[in-house]
Amino acid sequence: MSLLVVGLSHRSAPVSVLERASLAADTQAKLLQDTLAAEPATEAAVLATCNRIELYADVDKFHAGVAELSTLLAQHSGVGLDELTPYLYVHYEDRAVHHLFSVACGLDSMVVGEGQILGQIKDALARGQELHTAGRLLNDLFQQALRVGKRAHSETGIDRAGQSLVTFGLQQLAAGADPGLWARGKRALVIGAGSMSSLAAATLARTGVAEIVVANRTRSRADRLVEILQQGDDTTVRAHAVEMSAVGDELTRADVVVSCTGSTGLVLTADALADALGVTLDAPAEAPAVTAIPAPADVDQHAAWVENGSATSAPEAPRRITLPAQSTGPVKLALLDLAMPRDIDGAAHRIDGVRLVDIESLADASADAPMAADVDQVRTIVADEVAAFGAAQRAAHVAPTVVALRTMAADVVAGEIARLDGRLPDLDEKQRAEITQTVRRVVDKLLHAPTVRVKQLASEPGGAGYADALRELFDLDPQTVAAVSRADLNDPNRGRS
């Protein structure tokens, strides 16, 4: 079996495609289950973040695996295979390991060196374990990726290059000013209470905002986030929670809005934002107002759709907002949209007094971000860890064969001692024990050199064939070897950190 990853990220696909291909939690679970049901795969894990969707699998056929995983990604993302295929990348065996280790270290992140990806990898592993789709290979791989990521952050200065997406987003909102000075005294509205929203709220509190309002569909989660904020020793921020229905009123009082929900539609429409800022709305008499505008694939298309007040996919024409070509004058409302798909209408950047930073603009800004000198050191760590992981996996591949060989030898010894008992029934216990020990020593000495050597050879590139040779030379039953592998896989202490 061999490791295969098929995916797309901010490096291979435009944000508009990533947005449409995003996977909700229940969709990820179904994708994993369907991947295991597919013939080429025996294990599966999915890593889905705001800027990447990757499906990992242990497959027995490369080409069939690529075709199956690509098809499954298309089916569950809702993006047609023909449209999705140009943006997909494929990594196999050691290259797949190298890719995940690089991701874990933040080398492949939108903001190089950011550490939040480690939590997302941990979540991906936990999901695979919970659904029993992650077996020995993926458990080992993801556990090691977490260790490699932690090592990179502890042994190098990659943290100086990296920062959270939230921090980078706030820097973009500050437009060159010191984020602490820019945020001081402001009133922030955080929409959502998941991991990214919690990070945003904590970052805002440390940055120096005066007040944070948290809105979430599940009020108890918003209350819990507020409680955590108020317990922080390093901030004195005022915080309280509101229902989602109160977001419209809170917009009129907010200076900064950060949104990251799991919604599949817009949370803040251009209408709502314009109303909060008192922008004049021009509503045609024949067209009733609507409260939400579906988000099409492209931001410019979306903005044009809002301005023109019509769309072939909409049964009703929305109100048309008379907006300038771009925001001018002082910023009255700063918007940071970290959701995928987006929470905030892409046309918001055309509202006078609004500054919008979203995943797409962050991707553009990060392309010019300076790389830290420590990145080369991290790359060296990744290369070393990939080599070590490959050697360990190859050695592990031969281990069941060695165990099966020694088990067969023990059975031969036991059989010969039993036959000896029948021929020499008058042997006393001491004599019998001495003969038994002598035979075992002979067998152990004969097997010691070949079993040690085969483990050494198996750890080298191309060494997997030595296990096959050992099975062939000693006529080992493949089912016996497989049984040893299954016993190891079912060990309840395996894959726990």
The model's pLDDT over 166-183, given as tens digits with 9 standing for 90+, comes to 888 898 999 888 989 999
CA 337 → CA 19, 105, 197, 266, 269, distances in Å?
12, 24, 10, 11, 12
The pLDDT, as a whole number, for residue 481 is 58
Percent of the chain with pLDDT over 90: 43
Positions of E strands within 176-276 = 187-191, 211-215, 238-242, 256-259
Give dist(CA 188, CA 444) in Å, integer.
71
Positions of E strands within 346-408 = 354-358
- CA angle, 378 then 383 then 387, to 5°: 145
Residue 236 has which token pair?
Answer: 């004195």
pLDDT bucket at 367, cuts 50 / 70 / 90: low
CA 395 → CA 142, 301, 451, 455, 488, distances in Å?
18, 54, 11, 6, 14
Q: Which residues are catalytic?
A: 50
The pLDDT, as a whole number, for residue 317 is 37
Residues 6+ apart with CB under 8 A from 413: 436, 439, 440, 443
Helix spans in 89-218 (H): 94-104, 116-130, 136-155, 158-161, 165-174, 179-183, 195-207
Give dist(CA 411, CA 345) in Å, integer.
71
Q: Region 61-86: what's the mean pLDDT?
A: 94
- Taking a C-beta distance cutoff of 8 angstroms, is the pair 7, 84 a contact? no
295: pLDDT strictly greater than 50: no
The pLDDT, as a whole number, for residue 145 is 97
| Lowest mean pLDDT segment, chosen from 130-134, 284-288, 338-342 | 284-288
Length of the chain: 497
Q: Tell me the average pLDDT of the chain.
A: 82
pLDDT tens, residue by residue, 188-207: 999 999 888 888 999 999 89
The pLDDT, as a whole number, for residue 326 is 47
134: pLDDT strictly greater than 80: yes
- Taking a C-beta distance cutoff of 8 angstroms, is the pair 400, 488 a contact? yes
Give dist(CA 198, CA 143) in Å, integer.
25
